[in-house]
Amino acid sequence: MLFFRKTKKEPEKKEAAKKESGVKVAPKEAKASVAARPVVKKEFTDAYRILRRPLVTEKSVNLSSLQNQYVFAVASGVTKNEVKKIIQDLYGVKVLRVNILNTQGKKRRLGRHEGFKPGFKKAIVFLPEGEKIEIK
């Protein structure tokens, strides 16, 4: 049986003769990187319709200090692109990406009456190294 051979044949090494073609290829020139347009802080925005408040919790403070991620409570119908645009306009920083989470409302009781706290949507905003948002 060929599958269980004790010694393996080493494949024969073929030396491929490299052919030098008469056409020489010019080395590629380094493309001048397109200067990214600077993000400008705008005076008038509709941020109050999209951003509710920054969420300041122990976890969000750790994210902002260690990983340059900031957490905001946002309106229920917004998209990632809207949040990205508003953060760039309001704070004048470049946003790499945005993650959005829907938090569920929690059950609450008052005596024998049971109800729910409303849930909300939160956005985690990722900034590049060196960018910062001052949250007061």
What CATH number does residue 79 fall under?
3.30.70.330
Q: Assess if residue 1 is contained within a domain.
A: no
Q: How many domains does the chain have?
A: 1
Give 17-56 pLDDT, tens digit per residue: 555 556 666 676 655 554 566 777 777 667 889 999 999 9
Contact present, 122 and 73 (Cβ < 8 Å): yes
The two structure tokens encoding residue 98: 């945005």
Instruction: Using a cut of 0.95, tell me whether the model's pTM lies above it.
Output: no
What is the 8-class DSSP label of residue 90?
H
Give 98-111 pLDDT, tens digit per residue: 999 999 999 999 99
Contact present, 84 and 77 (Cβ < 8 Å): no
Q: CB 22: neighbour CB atoms within 10 A?
A: 4
Give 108-131 pLDDT, tens digit per residue: 999 999 999 999 999 999 999 999
The two structure tokens encoding residue 23: 């056409």
Q: Assess if residue 15 is contained within a domain.
A: no
> How does residue 5 score in pLDDT terms, banded at 50, 70 and 90?
low
